[in-house]
Chain A
Amino acid sequence: MDKISKISDNIESVSTDTDTTSRRDFFKKTAVYSASLVAASSVLSPIKAIAGDDTAITHEAEWGTKLGKLVTDNLYGLPSPYEHNNIRRTMDLLSSGDMYASVSMCPIHESEGIITPNGLFFTRDHGGTAIVDPDKFRLMIHGKVKKEIVLTLDQLKRYPSVTRTHFIECPANGSTGWRAPQLNNLQFMKGMMSSAQWTGVLLKTILEDIGLEKDAVWMMAEGSDNAGNPRTIPVEKALDDAMIVWGQNGEALRPEQGYPVRLLVPGWEGNLNTKWLKRLEFSDKPWHSKEETSKYTMLQKTGKAVQFFWPNEVNSVITSPCPEKPWTDLKKGDLVEIQGLAWSGHGTIKHVDISFDGGDNWKEVSLKGLVLPKSWTRFSYIMKWDGKPLLLSSRATDDVNNVQPTIDQETSVVGVESVYHRNAIVTWEVNKKGEVNNVHIRKHNA
């Protein structure tokens, strides 16, 4: 719940920590982590260790010489048991004393395309994952509307549906980097987001049906879970592209994403996409809930805070290579695809540029696959790696010409106490061995 103060508490203790024992612990932990990466890459690229014929070819494969599993073994399919490391992960630092009010990070370093499998979608709960009985689900729409109504799930699903692909991102994604790089792991640096193909009804369809009062300017959405998580959005957004969704990648929403129904506010703060939705109220005033006053407001250098900053700004990150997916298996002169994700809550990705020298010089690269509004967009560049160290950065531009800022461009305006909405350029330092480390390009010597 109090992710923010946890982060600053930690930073405070870390940045003043000169105790040699903890330094030693830190190096020990890092060594373990690096060793696991090296082990992983040797598992993934066994070819260089083989002299002569490969027994994986010359000898019959174990699974090819016996019967496999029954078709009836998993009537709801599961990933291969070999993929057990492709999972969401958590961190005490980003939790509130327990795992009820916490966040699990999406393994975006393993992510393919622009859709997150439902079981890997990042999860942020404020009071545990509610398991809602769909027969007892009710949606109430009231306040400044012409007709105050209650809908059952079946009635809601009788509205005509649309299906759209949108990312959901917590605006605290990347917040550990305000002062300095602290994580060497893409999953934890940028995994507070995921993407899905959502099915539901446009809010506009319902609101045009029941009618809004003239002075209905604000809408509050509330969930039926422990925390409720009420948030206010302007009616203008509700009438633009907001949806009430029940489908996620072709099946019912997962409980972690608000089963049976959540609000979808494309491109805007994840926290606004109220899960386990139960109520929409309309008013001529905003509500000022806990999550839009004490949290999700950005303290500036003046001591004043920005409130109601809804969109997730234009952003991008290179996902391959990344600290978890290094180039340690590459030889000098190998061709390799650099790829990553770009996204903007303000619209559609128009350009992605990448830099090999930390942002001194840039080159526009290809977008790849579908390019949709408020959706993850893949980018790709194929390079011949000469084995020399690189400072690899990506920078996205969207169709309203917002350009992803450098760290200094962002912090010089908003300072480092905003907590939320950090979209500065990410840089990977690739060393001679092909190992990848998170670095900041910023003009100071902290």
Chain B
Amino acid sequence: MYILENTMLKKTIIGLGLSATMLMFSGCVADAENTTKRAVDGGAIYDVKDGKYSSYYVNTQNVGKYNKGRVATPTEISAWDIDVMPDGTGLPMYDTKHGKVLLDQNGKKIVAQGSVELGNELYDAQCAMCHGDFGAGGKGYPTLSGGDINSLTYQLQNPADAEPNEEPPRRMIGSYWPYASTLFWYIQDAMPFPHPKSLSNSETYAISAYLLMENGVEVDGEEMDEEFVMNREQFLKIKMPNRDGFYPNVDTPEDPAQGVRNITNYLNDQKNYGAGERCMSDCIKGDVPVLRIKNELNDFNPPASTEKSLPVVEKSNAVQPGQEAYENSCSACHGNAAIGAPVVGDKDAWEEVTSKGLDKVYHNGINGINGMPPKGGNMELSDSEMKIIIDYMINSSK
């Protein structure tokens, strides 16, 4: 049975290889035992029947409108509605803040645009400390470049294959992401990590352009150079290399609901993603193939234990001046050995830092040093606040 089944499943894979789209329309396999209505995910739907939703009793009173809350104002909506869709919905034309378009000295709207060169500068100042130079990663945070679309068929050491591959697929922005809009939106909304939502739309265009260039993504079939200026118009010309790398197809503008139906059709059939079988006896012909752990991962924090004993009480410290600001603005790098910045608590590292004198430490913190941008990238901190933070970091490392 086992062998037969594997052969059958291999055929499914071949089918998938020939045409991924076929799968989307393969539809629901009729299930003799189950004729009930299916949910959007192919699962069960439970209607309210006799005052109950499955095992739960429900209040079935029929009432009018609740009319809670109030109508949102247009400015409120535009302040929060900064998401960007693949078709350009939400992709900004102008720099905006607090839901309003920003104006220059002459009262003209400031066009949102940024060059690759500016993006490179911003990246080096605010992103490279985590993501590495040129997006090369290697410091514990996600790598942003160096993908390879041809690697997406690799299955790293897949023991189920006859010839396991030793190379992993490299899923980076340029090799995997289907839409550039995702990059712009994410940077605008959630980066830089320690103080997101601080970049202007223009700065986000610049950083996006720089990262897309590093990923070898072209605009209208042409490579970007340092002088290239990204804006809404240019951005909409980008077609990501892996644009067609995903299924089921959900982008069905002619019939919006068709996209959802495509997914329902896929999810309805468990064979698309690994169906089990309720075999009860003699299910494995021959020896039971047991694979044991070869290299155990167990760097758990705290270490695993089920012992029931009184804990060792550690003395607690009250919050010290500078501690909160340190945690908000500095710890992403100085609390993480992988970054390379002196780690708070590392006595030797901080002895070396302070050996040049306290004024030098203040100076470096305020003006930046090596991979660290001025004030760690948080320009909202005053010089005196920086000194309090630095004092805290030094005192915590003695």
Contact = CB atoms under 8 A, between A and B. Distances in A.
- Closest 5 interchain pairs by CB? A97-B140, A446-B159, A346-B43, A347-B44, A403-B276
A336 interface: no
A358 B288 contact: yes
B10 A142 contact: no
Contacts of B276: 314, 395, 397, 402-406, 409, 425
Interface string B144-172: 00000000111111111000101011010
Interface in A117-162: 126-127, 139-140, 142, 147-152, 155-156, 158-160, 162
Contacts of B282: 360-361
25 contacts: A2-B141, A15-B295, A40-B308, A92-B301, A140-B72, A155-B68, A206-B68, A240-B45, A290-B183, A303-B153, A305-B152, A306-B266, A310-B263, A324-B306, A362-B281, A410-B274, A414-B273, A416-B159, A417-B168, A437-B293, A441-B288, A441-B291, A446-B157, A446-B164, A446-B291
B16 interface: yes
A401 B311 CA distance: 47
Contacts of A360: 281-284, 288
B250 A304 contact: no
A283 B251 CA distance: 12
A358 B300 CA distance: 28
B201 interface: no
Contacts of B305: 36, 40, 85
A439 interface: yes
B80 A278 contact: yes
A299 B171 contact: yes
Given A304-B246, A307-B248, A179 B295 contact: no
Contact of B293 (A156, A163, A325, A438): A438
B104 interface: no
Given A290-B185, A417-B169, A36 B76 contact: no
B222 interface: no
B200 interface: no
B70 A149 contact: yes
A188 B66 contact: no
Given A149-B71, A234-B260, A302 B17 contact: yes
Given A301-B13, A373-B54, A412-B9, 11 more contacts: A10-B297, A15-B295, A82-B308, A91-B301, A289-B186, A353-B280, A400-B38, A400-B42, A403-B277, A424-B274, A438-B293
Interface string A277-319: 0110101111111100110010111111111111101100000
Most chain B C-beta atoms within 10 Å of own C-beta, residue among A109, A293, A404, A409: A293
Interface stretch (A25-33, A48-56, A67-75, A379-387): A25-33
Given A33-B303, A150-B76, A182-B297, A162 B56 contact: yes
Contacts of A92: 299, 301
A301 B153 contact: yes
B335 A98 contact: yes
A420 B81 CA distance: 29
Contacts of B5: 409
Nearest to B196: A226
A110 interface: yes
B13 A217 contact: no
Contact of B291 (A353, A404, A416, A442): A442
A438 B309 CA distance: 27
A433 interface: no
A185 interface: yes
B140 A96 contact: yes
A162 to B, nearest CB: 7
Nearest to A36: B305
A230 B142 CA distance: 19
B277 A401 contact: no
B355 interface: no
A34 B107 CA distance: 71
A36 B283 contact: no
Interface stretch (B84-92, B117-125, B390-398): B84-92
B279 interface: yes
Contact of B336 (A15, A98, A268, A285): A98
B156 A362 contact: no
Given A285-B85, A302-B17, A409-B277, A44 B308 contact: yes
B142 A5 contact: yes
B297 A149 contact: no
A438 B293 CA distance: 7
A314 B298 CA distance: 27
A217 B159 contact: no
A391 B9 CA distance: 26
B155 A156 contact: no
A83 interface: yes
Contact of A413 (B76, B142, B274): B274
B332 A100 contact: yes
Interface stretch (B173-181, B227-235, B357-365): B173-181
